[in-house]
Amino acid sequence: MRPVFYTQEVKAPNSRARAGAIHTPHGTMQTPAFIAVGTKASIKGITPAQYQELGIQSLIANTYHLYLSPGERLVEEAGGVGKFMGFSGPIMTDSGGFQVFSLGEGFGKKLSKFLPEEATREAGVAHYDEELATSHGKLAVIDEDGVSFTSHINGSLHRFTPERSIEIQHALGADIIYVFDECTAPTADYEYQKEASERTHRWADRSLKAHRRNIEKNNQQGLYGIVQGGRFEDLRIESAKTVGGMNFDGYGIGGSFSKHDILGILDKVNENLPEEKPRHLLGIGEPEDIFIGVAAGVDTFDCVLPTRNGRTGGIYTKDGKIQIPNAEYVNDFGSLDPGCECPVCKNHTRAYISHLFRTYEMLGPVLASMHNVYFLTNLTRTIRQSILDGRFEEYKESFLARYKK
C-alpha cells in the first residue's frame, strides 16, 4: 500500500469540488484542507499544543530553510521534522525549489538561465561559474543537473539537485515530500517557460527514481510531483499530462511567483491529473483563491499570508481583511470576526488586540496569527461540509458576496 493515498467521499455535481481524506503515516487529513505554513518547523508564534483547538491538521515545512539551519541530519537525529518540533500529525516538506529561486529574487539575486549544455556535459556533474556566483553575492545558477545558489543568510554557496532535494527530504522525514522543480519568473517568455517546464519534468523523473531507490523511506513518505508551465495554458496541460502520468502519490500545482498565472487554468490542469490522487495548490490560499481552487478540484492549500498578515495586524474576517492597529478599532469591543468560534475571538476584543499592536506587545502578532490560521482552516472545513451537504456553490456565492477582497 502507498504511504499516502486519497479517498473520496463526495463529489459536487457541477464542478470538480470534492470532499475526501488524505491518509498518511501520521494520520488522516479531511479535505478540502488548509495546510498551515511552518517553514522552519514552526508555525510562527503558535505552539503545537494550540494546533488542535485551532483545527490545524497539518503543516508544510521547507527543505531549503531546514537544510540551511539546523541541517537535515539534526532533524533526522531528532526523529524527523514532526518529532523535532513536537507535532504528531501529518507534515509536508516543499522541495526547496521555490525558495532557491524566490529568495534570490527577493534579495535581488541574479537569475541566470543556465550554462551552456556543453560545459555541463564536459564537467559530467554540476557546473557553475563560481566567480560569477560569488561576485554577484546572491545568485541562482541553473544547469541541467541542478541549481547552484547562495544562502540568503550568509551568501555561502550551495547546490541542490533533484537527488539531493529528495535525500534531504528523506532525512527530514515528512509524510508528504515534493519533487525538486524550477520556479520561473511570471514574466519569463514562452520559450524559456517551455524549457524550464521540460527540465522540471526530467527533474521529476529523477526525483521519483531517487525516492524509489530508498525503499525504507519510500514506504514511509509519499512523493508529490509538481505541475509547472507558468501562465501558458498549453504548457500547464502538457505538464499535468506528463507529471500526472508518472505515478506520484499526489500532485502539487503552482510553484510560480504570481497566482494569476495559475488560477484561471487550474480547472484544465486538474482535468489532466489522475482523479484518484490528492492535489495541492502550492503557496496559494487566500479565501477567494480557495473557492476557485476547490471548484477546480484542489484538495489542499497552503499560504503564508495568515501568519504574515497576522504579524503586522492584518486580520481575516467574513467581511474581508481589516488592519486591527487602525484607530477605528481602538475602542471596538467586538471580537476580531464577529461570530467566529476561535479561542481568540471567544476571549478577546478588537480593542485589546489593537492595543497590543499599538504598544508593540508580541502577544498581538501571536493572537492575530492564531485567529487567521483558524479562519482559513475553518473556511476549508466549512467548504468541506458544504460539499458533503451538496450546497458548495450556494456557500461559495454567499461567502464571496460578503467578503471584500
Residue 254 cell numbers, joined: 503552482
Q: Which of 351, 393, 395, 400 binds a copy of itself (CB under 8 A)?
A: 351
Q: How far is the CB of 172 from a copy of itself (least distance, A)?
A: 13
Q: How far is the CB of 167 from a copy of itself (least distance, A)?
A: 20
Alpha helices in 183-335 (DSSP H): 190-213, 215-218, 233-244, 266-271, 287-295, 305-311
Nearer to a copy of itself, 274 or 343 (CB): 343
The verdict on 45 binding a copy of itself (CB under 8 A) reads: yes
Count of Cβ atoms closer than 10 Å to residue 304 Cβ: 14
The verdict on 189 binding a copy of itself (CB under 8 A) reads: no
Q: Which of 212, 319, 330, 382 binds a copy of itself (CB under 8 A)?
A: 330
Q: Which of 33, 43, 240, 373 binds a copy of itself (CB under 8 A)?
A: 43
Q: How far is the CB of 99 from a copy of itself (least distance, A)?
A: 13
The verdict on 86 binding a copy of itself (CB under 8 A) reads: yes
* Alpha-carbon gap, residue 205 to 224, rounded angstroms: 11
* Alpha-carbon gap, residue 356 to 348, rounded angstroms: 11
Whose CA is closest to 248, among 215, 221, 283, 271? Answer: 221
Nearer to a copy of itself, 56 or 367 (CB): 367
Nearer to a copy of itself, 103 or 141 (CB): 103
The verdict on 331 binding a copy of itself (CB under 8 A) reads: yes
The verdict on 325 binding a copy of itself (CB under 8 A) reads: no
The verdict on 70 binding a copy of itself (CB under 8 A) reads: yes
Alpha helices in 272-331 (DSSP H): 287-295, 305-311
Cα torsion 297, 299, 304, 306: sign: positive
The verdict on 356 binding a copy of itself (CB under 8 A) reads: yes
Residue 224 region by backbone torsions, left for phi larger than 0, else alpha for psi between -120 and 50, else beta = beta
Q: Which of 69, 134, 187, 382 binds a copy of itself (CB under 8 A)?
A: 69
The verdict on 241 binding a copy of itself (CB under 8 A) reads: no
Q: Which of 135, 312, 347, 398 binds a copy of itself (CB under 8 A)?
A: 347
Buried b (16+ CB within 10 A) or exposed e, 163-197: bbbbbbbbbbbbbbbbbbbbbbbeebeeeebbbbb
The verdict on 125 binding a copy of itself (CB under 8 A) reads: no
Please confirm, yes or no, whether 94 is among the known catalytic residues. yes
Residue type, 215: I
Q: Are strands 279-282 and 300-302 parallel, antiparallel or unpaired?
A: parallel
* Alpha-carbon gap, residue 324 to 322, rounded angstroms: 6
Residue type, 144: E
Q: Which of 114, 352, 374, 403 binds a copy of itself (CB under 8 A)?
A: 352
Q: List residues binding a copy of itself (CB under 8 A).
A: 40-49, 65, 69-70, 74, 77-78, 84-86, 311, 330-331, 333, 343-344, 347-349, 351-352, 354-356, 358-359, 361-363, 365-367, 370
Please give the positions annotated as active site.
94, 302
